[in-house]
Each structure stands twice: as C-alpha cells, then as structure tokens.
A and B are shown apart, each in its own frame.
Chain A
C-alpha cells in the first residue's frame, strides 16, 4: 500500500456511518496498519451532515483528511457526496448511495436540492460507483443495513482481502445480525 490511505464516510445523522467506520477501522487494524479515525458528535447527530474520517498506513500523524486528499469517499446520500467532492484526490473513488434525503433548508423552500447531483459527482470523480443501497437493504428486509451494503461496494474497490472484511464484520456486528450483515456486504460487493 502506498503511504497513507484516506477514506471519508459522509452522510446524514442517523444513517449508520459510525458502525461502518468501526468495521472499516477493524479491517484496517487486521492489515497491521496504524489507524486514526475522527468524527464529530453532538449537534451533528440530529439529522445534520455527518462525516467520519479514517486514515490508515504505516504511520499516520494527522487524523484529518483535507481537500484533495481522500482516496475514497463513501457517501450515504447524494447531496452529502456533492458537499465533500472537493476532498477527493486525482485518482480517487467515490461510492455513492443514490438515496436522497431532503435537508431542512430544502424542506422549507430556502434552497433547492440539486437535481443533477449524480452528474456533478460523476464529472468531478475519477472513479464513481453508484448504487441504490436503500433499495438493496429493503430487499434484504432491513433498511438499517444500508451502511454495510455501501461498505461492501467500497470493499470491492479496495485492495484488502475479502476474508478480512468478513472477519471485521464478525468482530463488530452483534451475532444475531451477523448473517443479515454478511448478505448486505455481499450484495454491495456484487452490485
């Protein structure tokens, strides 16, 4: 692996970005990497924009990912992908859930949701993977596994053995939800 890999997980408070980042950091530790992860709690949890930053490598100093530095962006929602696009580097990959969640600014008519968000993301991303993770999760019978579906889609783009991902899932997800999450991961991986 080259120097440090930087991954942004972005979404809306309540979408499950935190569990996804737990699995991701567990997998990174299995590679023997130094890992740093930072996220902001508090106000942002109440339906606001949320971002989790994960960096892994031989030696990681700053936990912060800066504009133009992210190797991967996993976006749980279109508008949030757009908001963080300038963080992607020249060879970066964005995995975007096509789900749209209206922010309050749009709901009250103070702003308009960009209809061409996906086109804008595509134009700015060297590599882009889009999937309807919510629909996939619904078909699996639980809307809450959107996060693991997206993780599966990202795993396919990364150079980490699949068995390490599955081990990370097993270490992180409660036993009674493990099978469901395995299916969700696989569905994202195959999408």
Chain B
C-alpha cells in the first residue's frame, strides 16, 4: 500500500479521483483553494473554476442530475453565496452523488468571519461529515457520495483550516470505475415548482429520519472506551486534541454529525460520570444533545465559541491543569503587506491623496486598509464595495463626489457586476475602480473568466471589462496604469467630479506573476533629504535609518512608484544590471 503525506485538501482531491467524481467545480477561497487545483491534475475529472460559489454548485447540481458524481468546493462564506441552490436541491435530491466541501476557518486566519457551517447542514437537512485528518478526508469523499446516492440528498463534507492545511499520512487506493447513472426526465423531482416541492417535503422529512437511523448504525460514529470518569463527544480536528490532552477519557468520535446519533450519545452518556461535548465554534452538537434531555457536564460554558482549540486549552478547561509555559516576548508584529511592485499600492496612494471615501472588497487589496495607506472605509463581503457605495450615496447625497468603490477583477466577476448594474439603474454616481491585476491573487493566482485560461491552463475566452461595463450602461469607462501616479490622480479627480457612474479600470498584472524587466532602484544618499515621502507608499523594500531612505535590492522589483513620489530625484536605477 502506498502512503503519502497529504494536506486535507490534497486528500479530498485524491478522494474525488478514487471515488468516481466526474465533474468538480469551485471558486477559490482560503482554506479550500487547493482542492480544485489538485483535482485539476486528474485528467479523468472535468474540473473548473466558476465565477462564484453559487454557479459552482449549480454546475455540480447539473452534473449530478445528469447522472455523474459531482464535487463542489468552497470556503465557509462561499456557502452563503451558494445557499440558494443548496436549499432547493435538498428538495429535489440527486441522481449521481453530490458532495459539497465547506472549508471553515476557526480563528479567521484568512477570513472576514468565523461562521460554523455545520449549522447549514442542519438547516438544509442534508448529511454532514467531519474528517479528523487527511486519511478521513479522502475516505469521507467516498462515504459522502455513497450517502448522497443512498438517501437521495446532497452531503456536506466540512473541514476546518487545520484539516485542510495539515499534512498527515494517507494510504492511496486505486480509482474505482467512473460510471454515469441513467438520466431520465423526471419533472416531478427536478422541477421545483410549488406543487412538486410540496410533494418532495414529505420525502425530505422521511429521508431525515432514515439518515438519523443510519447515524446510529454507521461506523463513522464510534465509541473508544477508556476510563469512564470523563466521556467526550467530539468531531473533526478536535478529536486529535482530545486524544492528546485527555488520554484517559472515553471518546464518542462522530464523523457523521447531521443528523446526530442521539440514541448512541444517550447510551454513551449513561456510562460515563461526566459527559463533555467538545467542539470548536458553535455548540452545534451540545445544543442538540441538551435538547434531547441528556445531561452535559461541560461544553461551551467551560470552553469558548471563539477561535481554534488546542490540547492545552482542553487540559485547562477539563482537568484544570494550566500547562502554559513561558510568556511570549514582546516583539513588533509583522502584518501581511502589499508586495513590492504591487499595482494596488499606486491605486491606494492616489485615493488617499485625494481623501476619498473608499468602499472596499475582498482580495489582496483589502490590505490597503493597513498603515501607512489606510485607504479603506468598509469591507463586508465579496462584491459589496459597489452597492455599499450606492447605499452611502443614497443616505448622504452630499458625499456623491467623494465616493469610490474598489474591487478586484476576480471579485468583480464573482459578484460585482450586479452592484454595478444597480448603480446605473438607480442613478448612482459613484466612481468604481476595478483593480485589474489579471488573476485571482490572494488565494494564490487562480485563473478566472477574464484571464484567458482555464483551471488546467488551457486557452479560454476572455471577459472584456470595458465592453461589459458599457453594456450595463456605464458611459464613462477608462483604463489607466496604476503604476502611473499622475494618470491615476487625474482619472480619480475627473471621474469623481462627474454626476454619473464611471468606471476606472486600473490595469497592471500582479507583481508576482510577471517577470521583472525594470531595473532595480537605489537611493542616492547624497540627494536624499530624508523627507520620508517614499515611506508613505508603504513599500516593504524601503526602510529609513540615519535620516536616509534605503532600498533593499533583494526585494525591489523596479516598479518605480517611489521614484514618482520622490521630489528630489534621489531614487535612481541601480548600476550594472
């Protein structure tokens, strides 16, 4: 048996390969992105980036109805976007099995919120699996698909950052045969009009009862007997923390967590002195266990709803042992920054100089909120920048000339277009800046519908942003190079002054995907007056000491932004390149 050290995401991709998935779709989002990137390596699977999670799920639904096994992957907040088709697909049910991967992010390592998507599974009345490690992540893809087909229901496979981004050993298996189930037109099942959906409600409720019985029987939910003083009900990565922190405890490890095996939990609880329910984020299991009349000795009251758990946190809460050693040394924090040469830097510098009220969006450019650029007023979710600007204008018409919405190219395709249509239709006048770096940068450079390449790097058609904006009714569309501060400044001044919506496309590719062609720069210390103007752009390659600026040649990519802000011509190309 071949063993490999895989991340949870790599293991899920491997599971898709081994368990007969034919169609896979996703929109990138940390910590889920690598699932589709790895699936793309398996030629047997037709895999794609979709413009957003709703579309990705709908593609997977189509594949399922047509008879294929389908996988769709997204980060936790992506399920909010995909919730609409999810909640009706749970009525129609599947043909080929469908597994939805929800990669949650306790601790918000890379997210704007910390929502617990297990609650979605209960709300939508679908099956829910929670892997503990990469082996289980791979196996559970197969189990999820089998459950999906057996109960005619979409199934959620919910990971967390620590499962998705931890590498653990996985036994690799041979792929099973890929077969299509027969497709027969069945309008009463797949056309969700009220009459049909009403009939399906009964099916949905009956299926939930059957899944509850399955939950009682399945080996996915297992008791590990040990001492009976402390019994722990747990799931996911937290199981590993329990094993480490409470080696003497008996454990009811739940891999299938919706519906919960309440009878099994009750009989486990009856055998132990203290029942603990240990789960990160919401008391998803605990609330249901308490509601079933089972006495819970310890749970959220002793632990926390916030952030990630750890073995030491459990030792302290359950055993009262404070194992924290030395206190951390005070060290200046090192926040993430816009890279040297990042095209967003020029855009935010120009917006700051023009003192605009800037509504922001989700991507690398959210870093424009950090010092020294500090240019953003709001960030809510994917696509919110444009409608938030419209709402601000409706509330404060006097701010009309001050409002700029900034949104990246990938985010604009994800859910920015509808906001732009709303702005035009409802007579908004804000200026919209599409920060077009021609890639989905923050998640690690994924292609999208405007890059001209597919997930697999094959040539594809390219969305024309200028034509698209004009087509929805924007008359003023202009393209500027965000590496040219004077042109940017002029565009911002002119477009915010007019009383009609306008779009500035600030176009320059991400500095990490273009080969450096410009000469690196250095500071001529004889000419440098120590005015610190170049420090205002927040470039990590520039530092200041002994009243002079210095450029680190290892970091500089020669973008020239600092040269444009230096009033004394002190920044010059490095010789001998």
Q: Which A residues contact B (CB, under 8 angstroms)?
A: 12-13, 25-26, 29, 34-49, 61-64, 66-69, 79-80, 82-83, 85-86, 89, 102-114, 120, 124, 143
Contact = CB atoms under 8 A, between A and B. Distances in A.
A62 B311 contact: yes
Contact of B335 (A45, A63, A105): A105
Chain A, interface SS category: mixed
B327 A86 contact: yes
Nearest to A85: B329
A61 B326 contact: no
B332 A107 contact: no
Interface string B302-343: 000000001110000000000111111101111111110000
Contacts of A38: 162, 165-167
Given A63-B166, A104-B540, A79 B332 contact: yes
Most-contacted residue by chain A among B5, B109, B161, B543 (CB, 10 A): B5
Contacts of B133: 36
A103 B332 contact: yes
Contact of A13 (B30, B324, B336, B364): B336
B364 A66 contact: no
Interface in B114-145: 133
Contact of A111 (B332, B336, B339): B332
Interface stretch (B46-54, B238-246, B376-384, B410-418): B238-246
Contacts of A35: 5, 167-169
A43 B332 contact: no
Contacts of B333: 49, 103, 105, 111
A134 B61 CA distance: 52
Interface stretch (B272-280, B365-373, B425-433, B465-473): B365-373
Contacts of B337: 46-48, 104
Nearest to B366: A43
A29 B168 CA distance: 11
Interface in B551-570: 554
Interface string B334-359: 11111100000000000000000000
The interface residues of chain B, by DSSP majority, are classed as loop
Contacts of B192: none
Interface of B: 3, 5, 30-31, 109-110, 133, 161-162, 165-169, 240-241, 243-244, 310-312, 323-329, 331-339, 364, 367, 370-372, 442-444, 535, 538, 540, 542-544, 554
Contacts of A86: 325-329
B11 to A, nearest CB: 13
Given A64-B310, A85-B329, A47 B336 contact: yes
A28 B542 CA distance: 39
30 contacts: A13-B336, A26-B5, A29-B3, A37-B166, A37-B167, A38-B167, A39-B165, A41-B30, A42-B31, A42-B442, A43-B30, A46-B337, A63-B168, A66-B312, A67-B312, A67-B325, A79-B334, A85-B329, A86-B328, A105-B334, A105-B371, A107-B538, A107-B540, A109-B544, A110-B332, A111-B332, A111-B333, A114-B331, A114-B332, A120-B329
